[in-house]
Amino acid sequence: MQLAIISDTHIPGRATGIPDWVRERVEAADHTVHAGDFETPDVVDEIRALADGSLTAVRGNVDPAGVDLPEATSVELGGVDFVVTHGTGDRMGYEDRVAAAVREGGGDVGVAGHTHEHLDTVHEGVRLLNPGSATGADPATETTMLTAVVDGGELDVQLHRGDE
């Protein structure tokens, strides 16, 4: 199973649209995970359409009440249990917060955004993924996303940058 993992699109507040290369990877994926900060319900609908309806998403700290998504959710894909949350809060303690959400949600891997910085690390025994910002929205210094192949409980993650 091919996954597209994105976050922090911030349209229209900090970005004008989703870059073509991100769109192509979302359209090619079997499932897309978005870790919040869409900014409008229309952007949620746009990404859901790109993902052909196969979307797991959460609300970020700048998403208004009209973005009708949970603050955290879990999904099993290819034998891996993912817990998705935005990661809202101070940068200090970010990895602790996300790892705690994964443990609380009974997951294997945490997907979060918020910092606009890509991350693929193991923190206190929990794998954490942050795709950065799919639009390069401030304070990001580049446009990034992750793709992953997940099969039989195995997860292989790749970082993609806008300048590649």
Q: Report the CATH number at residue 79.
A: 3.60.21.10
Average pLDDT over residues 142-153: 97
Higher pLDDT: 91 or 5? It is 5
Q: How many CB atoms lie within 10 A of CB 153?
A: 10
As a whole number of angstroms, the distance between CA 90 and CA 13 comes to 21
pLDDT bracket for residue 162 (50, 70, 90)? confident
Take residue 163 and report the two structure tokens written for it: 């300048």
pLDDT at 163: 65
The pTM of the full predicted model, rounded to 2 decimals, is 0.96
Q: What crossing angle do the helices spanning 20-28 and 41-50 adopt, rounded to 10°?
A: 60
With the C-alpha atoms ordered 36, 38, 41, 43, is the resulting torsion angle positive or negative? negative
End-to-end CA distance of the chain: 23
SS3 track for 74-124: EEEECCEEEEEECCCCCCCCHHHHHHHHHHHHCCCEEECCCCCCEEEEEEC
Does residue 156 have a pLDDT over 80? yes
Number of domains in the chain: 1
97-147: pLDDT as tens digits:
999 999 999 999 999 999 999 999 999 999 999 999 999 999 999 999 999
Average pLDDT over residues 3-23: 97
Nearest residue to 145 via CA among 121, 128, 161, 163:
161
Q: CA angle at residue 135 from 154 to 150, to 5 degrees?
A: 10
Range of the domain at 150: 2-161
35-68: pLDDT as tens digits:
999 999 999 999 999 999 999 999 999 999 899 9
Does residue 164 have a pLDDT over 80? no
As a whole number of angstroms, the distance between CA 98 and CA 83 comes to 9
